[in-house]
Amino acid sequence: MAMLPTPLTSHVSYDQVYEPAEDSYLLLDTLSSGTETAFLRAHFSGHPSVPLVLEVGTGSGVVLAFITAHAEHVLGRSDVVTLGTDLNIFACGAASVTVVDAVEATQSMPSSEAREDTIPKPGSGVFLDTLKMDLASSCRPNIVDILIFNPPYVPTEHLPTAHTEESSTQTTFDRDSHLLSFSYAGGTDGMEVTNRLLSQLPSILSPDRGVAYVLLCAQNRPEEVKSRIREWEGGWCAETVGGSGKKAGWEKLSIIRIWKGV
Amino acid sequence: MKLLTLNFLTCARKACKTSAASFPLHPREAELEQVELDMNPQFIRNVLPRVEWEAMRSISQELGLPSLPDTAPGPEELADAEGGPTQILKDLHTLLMETTIASGKLLCANCGHEYAIKEGIANFLLPSHLV
């Protein structure tokens, strides 16, 4: 299968915003893999109401831009609405530009290049906004159809605390390092933020067709995470659908898909 | 921030989620900006079933925008005889997709908390005593 173009993020200031890395690209590869596009197309076809995609913690916006720009290829439809959240105001601004640019680039692709056999159909979804928000805290309950989360998964002693107001005594360097720490510092087992998101998933995802993609690293103990999800009330499924950096049988990074079985 | 985005948002406070008064959030001191966007008629048609019409009507009224009909237009009102977009569909595109709040506040009618919008980005982080 032809590669879908990766959204450009050269406008993003990496002093303040997480730079797309192996984890971001693993999400792109997984979402556009044959198995996931087949699953998502089957899951979201045949219902007229538009699916809502939410990326939590967009950072540069590369993942949200990818799924928005290539909505038709990934989801089998272009009447898809997308939103992003991040704690970092610089990420919110940058991600919005990344998404808008990626959609524009996809839409203006010369038709000769858009032959179906080489590059997939250019149908893009509809991006709304990025919002400065903790996880999905201000979304109406049970409205998200596809949630994507590349969490801060690195085990750390402490979690950074969010300031609602910027302190005037802080240097720019301190402020930027503090902002960047939100993108990686995951507390105990690197799971503190992810566990908080997981516990909220049943009230975030749409009851009939909600699906979440969450990235984990080996230290997060993905097998245990999946077992716990399978014990939730209501018949939840959790499967590993992407991975990279295999070492002695263990994936360094993996992506799990979480959804309600029928 | 696009007006359609307000359709998907409520107050960030847990205690407000169960109260009907926390949706929609009410724009205050809003500075509006029209941002031109390509129209996607299929999207407008298919997003309408997800739009809380009463809420959108009240938001539009509070912003002093032209009033919306009492009930959401049906599919037959969105496409003309040739299948092209009707004026109603074009107006909805203008309202939902092209009308943005550049700055202002969003008020939760349940708890009275106001969320600021600056440079088009709404801030839903709560001060620590409200989390």
ipTM associated with this complex: 0.96
> CATH code at B19?
2.20.25.10
Condensed to tens digits (0 to 9), the pLDDT of residues A178-218 reads 888 888 889 999 999 999 999 999 999 999 899 999 999 99
Alpha-carbon distance of A181 to A89, in angstroms, equals 14
Asked if the Cβ–Cβ distance from B124 to A140 is below 8 Å, we say no
Torsion of Cα atoms, A214 then A218 then A221 then A225, to 10°: 10
* Host domain of residue B13: 3-130
Residue A172's pLDDT is 85
H-state helical runs in chain B = 3-6, 14-17, 41-47, 53-62, 87-93
Alpha-carbon distance of A20 to A77, in angstroms, equals 26
Each as own residue / partner, the long-range contacts of residues B59-63 (CB below 8 Å, 24 or more positions apart, any chain) are B59/B3, B59/B6, B59/B24, B59/B26, B59/B27, B60/B3, B60/B95, B62/B26, B62/B27, B63/B3, B63/B27, B63/B30, B63/B32, B63/B99
Interface contact B10, partner A, CB < 8 A = yes
Residue A56's pLDDT is 98
Q: Is A132 left (phi over 0), alpha (psi -120 to 50) or beta?
A: beta
CATH class of A22-260: alpha beta
Of B4, B124, B128, the CB nearest to A137: B124
Pair A1, A229: CB distance under 8 Å = no
Condensed to tens digits (0 to 9), the pLDDT of residues A109-128 reads 765 554 444 444 469 999 99
Give me the mean pLDDT over the A119-140 stretch.
89
Number of domains in chain B: 1
Question: C-alpha angle with apex A234: A259 to A76, nearest 5 degrees?
Answer: 25
- Whether B98 shows a pLDDT value over 70: the answer reads yes
Query: If we measure between CA atoms, which residue out of A85, A83, A77, A61 comes closest to residue A124?
Result: A77
Asked if the Cβ–Cβ distance from B47 to A131 is below 8 Å, we say no
Q: Is A83 exposed, middle or buried (0-12, 13-18, 19+ CB in 10 A)?
A: buried
- Nearest Cα of chain B lies from the Cα of A4 at a distance, in angstroms, of 23
